[in-house]
Amino acid sequence: MREFSNLIGGEPRPADRTLDSVDPSTGRAWARIPRSTAGDADAAVTAARTAFPAWSAMPAAGRAHLLREVAGVFAANARELAELETRDNGRIITETARRDLPGMTYLWQLAAAECGAAVEGRTVILGPGSLGFTRRVPYGVVVGIIPWNSPISTFSAKAAFALAAGNTVVIKPAEQAAASTLRLGELLREVLPPGVLNIVSGLGEEAGDALVRHPGVNRISLTGSTETARIITRASTDALKPLAFELGGKSPNIVFADADLDRAALGVSTQSVFTANAGQVCVAGSRILIQRPVFAEMIDRITAITRGIRLGDPLSEETTMGPIVSAEQFQRVTGYLEIAAKEGAELVFGGRSGGEIVDEAYAGGYWVEPTLFTTEDNALRVCQEEIFGPVAVALPFDTDEEAIAIANDSAYGLAAGVWTRDLGRAHRMCRDVEAGTVWVNTYRKMPPGLPFEGLKDSGYGHDSVLANTREKSCLIET
């Protein structure tokens, strides 16, 4: 059993109690992480507050230099970090090693390049002898609460830009998958000044609650569930903390008859919901809207593609889909398979779960097949509720207006996909579909240069350098 510690004030800090971290491909514990208390959370915030004056006063060029060194740590330790994350949450190694780690190295380099933007302001000539100007200032201590489905990526998005802006940071990883983040703490303590970055693992109702209620915390950024966001909102009201939430989704993937159907079939299946971390991604295009003239043809194409999906050892380069992250999430996903059947949705393929669909060595893991249902009723629970697994529903539509109506008939508004050769239609869809991000003829691409922000129950706010600063106005008269 591998042991991991918190990072507080630049030093490894074990907690008095621990939690087992379970390998979801086998169902067996492989590591222990701290089950932090309110006292651990307070120590981390205190360390961050102590480090804040010097870090925020450091010239932007100095912070940029250190963030480039952090990028170097990611590059030098990429394989180890990728394997840790794969073992901890089941995300296949081809995603963690080829997609996540190279992307995060670039993200830290980008954050370093944007340090200067954090200190830029505006000048306004108000009249003779009267000059107004603004300064961008950091908030102070920023808490980042990150999910289990993509810890390294969300850790980087929250920590890199907050640090670039001059804030100090406390990260709370999800208890289901904290190992890669805690290992990063071990590595980065050699680069960043003590207290600038702190990492505290544990349960949300213990360490997480203590952090969001702490009077020394100045901003909170969560990537997680809508229900967790509501809890944090209620817990943080006394201190009026600024909040940023990137939450769940039930994203529509809209295929028009004029689309490149081969490209669309790949986009709505392996790039969107099934092999994309076994559907455990917030932007999963789990509602596949297909124009009626090509509905049957698209279902056939999707079915043919999913026959090639291989479940198994997430550390194998040959595996194309991993397990569900935990026993709790496995029960949730398989419960929706039963709900869909009871609601009358028609099963196209999949629907099986458990150890019989993988090699015997992984029979104890949390496995669910890629599964597709069809229906014409967008009111079904499997069309409205976020499943967070490799389960999708296909619905036919006739007109552009009907596609928009179905797409927008959701409490969520995180992302959407549109597949068409018609440029005018593409622009109308970008305008009229209620989603923070709309992809056209592609899916699940999130370059750091573009903001990623949800609508409706999918949250608000984002993690950029400017989002981690406030604009302070000054007026001088002579």
Q: Which residues are catalytic?
A: 246
Q: How many CB atoms lie within 10 A of CB 34?
A: 26
Contacts of 5 (CB under 8 A, 6+ apart): 12, 13, 14, 15, 34, 182, 185, 186
122 vs 466: CA distance, rounded Å: 13
Q: Which residue has the tokens 């390049």?
A: 113
Report CA 305 to chain centroid distance, whole Å. 26
474 vs 478: CA distance, rounded Å: 13
174 vs 21: CA distance, rounded Å: 11
Nearest Cα to Cα of residue 194 among 74, 71, 51:
51
Nearest Cα to Cα of residue 30 among 176, 166, 158, 174:
176
98 vs 102: CA distance, rounded Å: 7
β pairing state of 287-291 and 391-397: parallel
Nearest Cα to Cα of residue 87 among 177, 203, 151, 18:
177
Structure tokens at 187: 């590595």
Q: Is 240 helix (H, G, I), strand (E, B) or coil?
A: coil
Q: Is 76 helix (H, G, I), strand (E, B) or coil?
A: helix
- The angle at the Cα of 162, spanning 238 to 472, to the nearest 5 degrees, equals 70
Nearest Cα to Cα of residue 45 among 220, 169, 191:
169
Rounded to a whole number, what is the distance in angstroms from the first to the last CA of the chain? 68
Contact 235, 270 (CB under 8 A): no
362 vs 354: CA distance, rounded Å: 10
Contacts of 386 (CB under 8 A, 6+ apart): 248, 249, 250, 286, 412
